[in-house]
Structure 1
Amino acid sequence: MSCQTLSDTLLRDISNLYDKADDYNVKIQVGEDSKMEIFKAHSVILRARSNYFRSAFSLNWAKKEGDFYVFKKPNVIPIVFQIILKYIYTGTVALDTVNVENNFIELLLAADEMNLHELIEHLQQNIINLSRLNNDWIIQNGVKLFNIIFNRKGVFPKLEELCNNIMIQDPKLFINSNEFWGLDDEALLSIIQLESLEMKEISVL
C-alpha cells in the first residue's frame, strides 16, 4: 500500500469522526441567546488542527463539566462555526455554497481567530474571485470588508490589495453607493491616503 493511499485512508477515517462519532469530549456553545447552538467535538482533533484550540486547552480556557470540556464562542454565528468545524475535521469547505458566500467575511474573521491559515488563503482568493464576477457583492459587502482590512493592516494582504485596486481603478463604484458612509475613520483615512487614487473631487454633501 502506497503512502498516498495510507494518507487518503487516514483522512477519510478522521473525516468520519465529524458526524459519525459518539465519543466527543468537547461542547462548544456558539452564538448568543435564542441563536445559540451547541457543537460537539474531540479535543485531540481541535488541538491538532488549530493553534487557537491548542492554546485554549493548555491555558485552561475551557471549563470542565463532567466528562466534557465546555467552550463559549458568543462572537461567532452558528452557521459559520459549522463550516469551520467541518473544515477542521475534513480539510474541505464548499466555498461556492450560499451559506459560505453570504458569510465570507464572518468566516474570514473566525478563521483568523482560530489560526486556520490555509483556510484564510482560500477565503481571500474566493472573495477576490467573487468580487470580480459580481459588482453587487462588493458594493453590498464593501464597507464591512474595507473596515476589516484597513483596521488589520497586513493580516489579509491579498484582500488589502483588492481593496486598494478597487479604490484606484473604479472609486465611484463604491463611493457613490449608500454603503460608503458606513466606513469607519481608519478605513476612510487609508483610502484618502492612497497615492494613486484618481479622483479630482469627491462630493460629501
Structure 2
Amino acid sequence: MPTHFYDRLSNDLTNLFESGVNCDVLIEVGEETLLSEIYKVHSIILQSRSSYFKKKFDEITKNNDHVETLKLPNISVKVFDVILKN
C-alpha cells in the first residue's frame, strides 16, 4: 500500500484519541492529585497494540455508564504520554 495510506491512518487514530469520541476507558495516571491526569482512551486500540493493556482491561469492570476506569498511580503523566503516542 502507498505510504500516504498509513500516514492518513495514523492521523485518523491521533484525531480519534485527541477527540475522546466513543472512548470506553478512563485511565488515571499519576500518584498525586495535582500531578495526575485522566486520559479518555479506546480499549480496542490499546488491546490490539499491547498485551499489557489487554491483561489490565480484562481485570477491571465497567461502571453504570459502561466506561471502565483504570488507575495507574506508579506511572508519571510524562511517561504515559510517551507510551500512548508511540
TM-score, normalized by the shorter chain, greater than 0.5 = yes
Whole-angstrom CA distance in 2 between matches of 1:21 and 1:36: 18
Where structure 2 has 5 or more consecutive residues not aligned to the other structure, the ranges are none
Contact map agreement 1:18 1:86 (CA 8 A) in 2 = no
Match of 1:62 among 52, 60, 63: 60
Whole-angstrom CA distance in 2 between matches of 1:79 and 1:68: 24
The one-letter amino acid paired with 2:28 is Q
Question: Is 1:22 matched up with 2:17?
Answer: no
> What is the aligned partner in structure 2 of residue 48 from structure 1?
48
Whole-angstrom CA distance in 1 between matches of 2:61 and 2:36: 18
The structure richer in helix per residue is: 1
Partner-residue secondary structure (3-state), 2:70: strand
Question: What is the correspondence of 1:45-194 to structure 2 with a 5 Å cutoff?
Answer: 45-57=45-57, 60-65=58-63, 66-87=65-86
Whole-angstrom CA distance in 1 between matches of 2:2 and 2:48: 20
The structure richer in strand per residue is: 2
The one-letter amino acid paired with 2:41 is A
Where structure 1 has 5 or more consecutive residues not aligned to the other structure, the ranges are 88-205
Q: TM-score, normalised by structure 1?
A: 0.37
Partner-residue secondary structure (3-state), 1:81: helix
Q: TM-score, normalised by structure 2?
A: 0.79
Shift of 1:76: 0.6
Shift of 1:19: 0.9
Shift of 1:33: 3.0
Distance 1:11-1:22 versus aligned 2 partners, 3 A rule: same
Whole-angstrom CA distance in 1 between matches of 2:76 and 2:61: 21
Q: Which has the higher contact order (CA 8 A, sep 6+)?
A: 2
